[in-house]
Amino acid sequence: MHQTMRGWKLHRKTDEELADIAKIVNPVIRGWVNYYGSFYKSAMHPILRKLNQYLIRWVAKKYKRVNGRQKQAQNWLAKIAQCEPRLFIHWQMGITPTIR
């Protein structure tokens, strides 16, 4: 699963919007959650947290005001997660980035 997420190379998709990233990621994540989550749901949490880290990295690369500032990028993504909690499947499950 980690290799699949790395293969997406989200940090290089700075021409895409967050909704476009969600369209790419959500079908795969939904499949993982439905299949693996039914057997061992708690094992999915670290993987989904890692996806949040990849999204934070994408934010840091996309927007100049948070460029290279992981904490600010995380806060920005956390605010988006609060405003639109249904954008990503794992956000609907409650695995959202937190504001520091």
State the total domains in the chain: 1
Q: What long-range pairs does 40-48 form, CB within 8 A, spacing at least 24?
A: 45/95, 47/1, 47/2, 47/5, 48/90, 48/93, 48/95
Per-residue pLDDT tens over the stretch 46-93: 999 999 999 999 999 999 888 878 899 999 999 999 999 999 999 999
pLDDT tens string 11-58: 999 999 999 999 999 999 999 999 988 888 888 999 999 999 999 999
CB 76 within 8 A of CB 60: no
- Which residues constitute the domain of residue 87? 40-100
Question: Is 25 part of a structural domain of the chain?
Answer: no
Q: Report pTM.
A: 0.92
